[in-house]
Amino acid sequence: MTAFPPGSTIGILGGGQLGRMLALAAGRLGLKSHIYAPEADSPAFDVAASHTIAAYEDEAQLAKFAKWVDVATYEFENIPVSTVEFLSARIPVRPGAKALACAQDRMNEKSLARELGAMTADFSAIDSFADLENVLDKGFAVPSVLKTRRLGYDGKGQAKILARADAEAAWTAMRDQPSILESFVNFRAEVSVVAARALDGTFKAFDVTENEHRNHILHRSVAPAPLNADVAAEAVAIAEKIAEKLDYVGVFAIEFFIVPDNGHDRLFVNEMAPRVHNSGHWTMDGALTSQFEQHIRAVAGWPLGSTGLNAPGAEMINLIGDDILTWEKIAAEPGAFFHHYGKKDARPGRKMGHVNRLLPKKPA
């Protein structure tokens, strides 16, 4: 298929910081962006050529949107699958509904990883308190964690079951939503693979990244992750298998737990994000092609860019809530790359921006 040339318009569903950074990357390539989002104060509006404020379920507005853009994508995985299916009947949407449906359900994610031969935590579908009691009575390991199957992120929609007596409170926290019970994984680190797959099946991954969380929110990412080369290669291979299985087009992330086992590291797939990812923000300054440009390239049908590094290593620090108020100090720091998301209110726990730094040597 012919690539969409400069001057074409990329439709982006979602107007948050990821949509904003996608629009900025598209502009660098001579491509226009049209943001579609229900929130009137969406930060991506500020950097896009045009925008639509409407609900994702508004088919009349979606039909107009489809006439105004050449190809569409989305910035987060909670876009309704029906929205992507509606648009896909009119214009190309990349990645497609198949990948979105998989990533929206933790059962689907875990089942796909197992189908492809990857390891995961033990898991079981839970649709009622009776289901939970039955699974625990049959010997499912405690401690464990109960999660909603859909719409959870940054630690939301989760409840720990540290002892059998915690089960009822955990189910109450799920508010009767379809859930998944997962065993605890005794991991020493969490890493992610951020990669892209093009229309022709070309696959390229950035260096595996190690991630540190605070209060269930990503705090710091460093690349390359301090892993043995064979473990890093295995993580990338698993990501490629998942992308092929889903006929994926665009950038995505696979999160892994690193589990020690008799002196060796084992990989456990945690979850998938069908979009550009917070743990890939370091690529904006640390890689020859940022994850945002790479996604736009894939969506527009262009060749993928190089994933090589600009320095031996790179780090990203999220600026959460009032952290953004240190912007002058960061701006004065030699070698710091400051990225502000254009959000007005610095609420606790809200991602307001990030700072990247290049490292003179590989992380140890």
CATH fold label, 9-93: Rossmann fold (3.40.50)
Q: Give the start-to-end residue ranges of the domains of the chain.
A: 9-93, 122-183, 189-359
DSSP 226: S
State both tokens at 307.
């994933």
Angle between helices 59-68 and 81-88 in degrees, nearest 10: 50
- Specify the pLDDT at position 76: 93
What is the reported pTM?
Answer: 0.95
C-alpha distance from residue 318 to each of 251, 256, 288, 294, 308 (Å): 20, 20, 21, 21, 23
Residue in the structure block whose two tokens are 């006439």: 67
C-alpha distance from residue 272 to each of 33, 59, 176, 230 (Å): 25, 28, 24, 21
* CATH class of the domain defined by 189-359: alpha beta
> How many other C-beta atoms can be found within 10 angstroms of the C-beta atom of residue 60?
8
Tell me if domain 9-93 and domain 189-359 are identical in fold: no
C-alpha distance from residue 122 to each of 19, 156, 174, 181, 191 (Å): 34, 20, 19, 8, 19
**pLDDT tens digits for range 233-276:** 999 999 999 999 999 999 999 999 999 998 899 999 999 999 99
Any idea which architecture 122-183 has in CATH? 2-Layer Sandwich (3.30)
Q: What is the DSSP string of 21-34?
A: HHHHHHHHTT-EEE
Q: How many CA atoms lie within 13 A of 134 on its CB side?
A: 8
Tell me how far apart the alpha carbons of residues 98 and 102 are, in angstroms, rounded to a whole number. 6
**pLDDT tens digits for range 53-96:** 999 999 999 999 999 999 999 999 999 999 999 999 999 999 99
